[in-house]
Amino acid sequence: MTNEFYKPGEERAARVSALFATVARRYDLINDVQSFGLHRIWKRRLLNLARAHPGERALDLCCGTGDIALALAKQGAEVVGLDFSEPMLQVALEKLKKQSPKAKVEFIRGDAQQIPFPENTFDVLTIGYGLRNLADLEAGLRDMLRVTKPGGRLLVLEFGKPDNSIWRTIYFGYLKFFLPIFGKLFCGNSAAYAYILESLKHYPAQKTVAKKMSELGWQNVKIINLIGGIMSIHSAQKAK
């Protein structure tokens, strides 16, 4: 049965928006629970690879509640966090006011497939757990390339598909059994986090994503698999 929050095609954005409106206030808590806190380590790995520094401009796409955007600002970058979910952005703004009121961070509502900035604007682009949610993966990667400065870096943290069939079966079994429980407990809706497995089934594996990035013009494309490939980081650069 198809998850109520997953819908391919034109309805995808509306369904995903409804999902994040449902989970926004419990998003960080559920991430801690479902990953046993490991998502914080994975995000630090992404940030270390991003190597943002003072004087650079950074764009965090699908920024959610703002963890990566705020961390990029702590590295010294001038940051824009973009997301199409107003409830998630509201949580991000509350974090900004509470944790880093002087940080150079702007949160805006927008579409990661039609980024509202001119060509060659950003030195660093990051996207954490958002690439899988785009209705058109290719359109998103192409527009990311457009707004990146020559020599700029792209870092993508996303759920993966392990190459090892046994490990993949165990991983998918965990997602299938436990995530609906977390959704029911914390959001009152078992479909809210069962969506992750449904979306992952329709998302290409790491090597396919890397190949698509290269075909679109990204250079030095690399894959870093985490915990046997259940998570992955893609890194790439725009040609100088």
The string of pLDDT tens digits covering residues 48-83 is: 999 999 999 999 999 999 999 999 999 999 999 999
Q: Does residue 6 have a pLDDT over 60?
A: no
Q: Which domains does the chain have, with CATH numbers?
A: 9-237 (3.40.50.150)
**Please, which pLDDT band fits residue 185 given cuts at 50, 70 and 90?**
confident
User: E-strand spans in 112-214?
Assistant: 122-128, 148-159
Contact 218, 238 (CB under 8 A): yes
> DSSP state, 164?
S
**Please, which pLDDT band fits residue 187 given cuts at 50, 70 and 90?**
low
Q: What is the pTM of this model?
A: 0.88
- Report residue 220 as tokens: 């030095």
pLDDT at 170: 94
How far apart CA 103 and CA 193 sit, in angstroms, is 31
Q: What value does the mean pLDDT take over residues 5-12?
A: 50
Q: Does residue 3 have a pLDDT over 50?
A: no
